[in-house]
């Protein structure tokens, strides 16, 4: 799953990176510890604009048919195995897919009966990540909500957690936003197993393959400590 992540780029930067009209303006401060039901930036298609827009959505999808928003915190993730058929997500998968910009995400690994160690997964080059996402509009107030699509962890990332966000490289962004839902196999294809090679030491983890692959570093995060000296602006993912 993906239960906490970071997104710190400004709306202006994100709108430029994703070639999207900015609907957020100054209403989005950096957040190094996004939690369920927090406001998050998403990139979606807008019929009104005729292209991509950067919007502010609440994390935790509320289906249009829901009686209220009480279940939103349980709807932060949609599984690749069932997203096309699950009642809560199928409609959004068919017609309302989005990109969820992120710096990286957190996972926890149990290291003893009492303790867990947290890890932060982020691009080595500092580039933006785009999670595959879904969006929906609920209620008379037209509350915009979203969910992150997750799949089985690939390669060595599975040593930390068995699930991960479906990370889309730039060449898949347009396809995710526009392709018909019957192309689900291609839409939900995981990244290659050699795309990431995590390192907890902070040393570079250069992945093999083409230049389009993403390099990741796993940085250890300990309770009551900052993530690392080189990332001392980050705060621990614990609330």
Between CA 69 and CA 12 the distance in angstroms is 30
Q: Classify domain 5-114+127-191 at the CATH superfamily level.
A: SOS response associated peptidase-like (3.90.1680.10)
Sequence spans of domains, the chain? 5-114+127-191
Query: By the 8 A CB rule, do 77 and 150 touch?
Result: yes
- Per-residue tens of pLDDT for the chain, all 239 residues: 689 999 999 999 999 999 999 999 987 899 999 999 999 999 999 999 999 999 999 999 999 999 999 999 999 999 999 999 999 999 999 999 999 999 999 988 888 888 888 888 887 777 899 999 999 999 999 999 999 999 999 877 888 889 999 999 999 999 999 999 999 888 999 876 655 544 443 333 233 333 334 445 455 433 323 333 233 223 334 33
Q: List pLDDT tens digits, range 37-93.
A: 999 999 999 999 999 999 999 999 999 999 999 999 999 999 999 999 999 999 999
Kindly report whether the global pTM for this prediction surpasses the value 0.75.
yes
10 Å CB burial of residue 78 (0-12, 13-18, 19+) is: buried
Q: Which residues have a Cβ under 8 Å from the Cβ of 13 and sit 6 or more positions away?
A: none
Query: By the 8 A CB rule, do 202 and 228 touch?
Result: yes
CA 223 to chain centre: 23
């Amino acid at each position: 799953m993906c239960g906490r992540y970071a997104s710190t780029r400004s709306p202006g930067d994100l709108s430029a990176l994703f070639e999207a009209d900015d609907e957020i303006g100054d209403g989005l401060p950096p957040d190094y510890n996004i939690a369920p039901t927090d406001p998050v930036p998403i990139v979606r298609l807008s019929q009104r604009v005729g292209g991509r827009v950067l919007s502010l959505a609440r994390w935790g999808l509320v289906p249009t048919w829901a009686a209220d928003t009480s279940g939103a915190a349980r709807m932060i993730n949609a599984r690749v195995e069932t997203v096309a058929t699950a009642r809560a997500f199928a409609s959004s998968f068919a017609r309302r897919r989005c990109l969820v910009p992120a710096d990286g995400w957190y996972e926890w690994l149990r290291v003893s009966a009492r303790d867990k160690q947290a890890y932060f997964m982020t691009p080595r080059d500092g580039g933006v990540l785009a999670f595959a996402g879904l969006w929906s509009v609920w209620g008379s107030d037209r509350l915009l909500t979203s969910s992150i699509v997750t799949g089985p962890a690939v390669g060595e990332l599975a040593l930390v957690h068995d699930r991960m966000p479906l990370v889309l490289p730039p060449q898949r962004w347009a396809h995710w936003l526009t392709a018909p839902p019957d192309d689900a196999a291609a839409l939900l294809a995981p990244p290659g197993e050699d795309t990431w090679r995590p390192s907890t030491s902070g040393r570079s983890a250069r992945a093999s393959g083409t230049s389009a692959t993403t390099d990741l570093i796993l940085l250890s995060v300990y309770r009551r400590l900052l993530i690392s000296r080189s990332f001392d602006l980050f705060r621990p993912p614990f609330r």
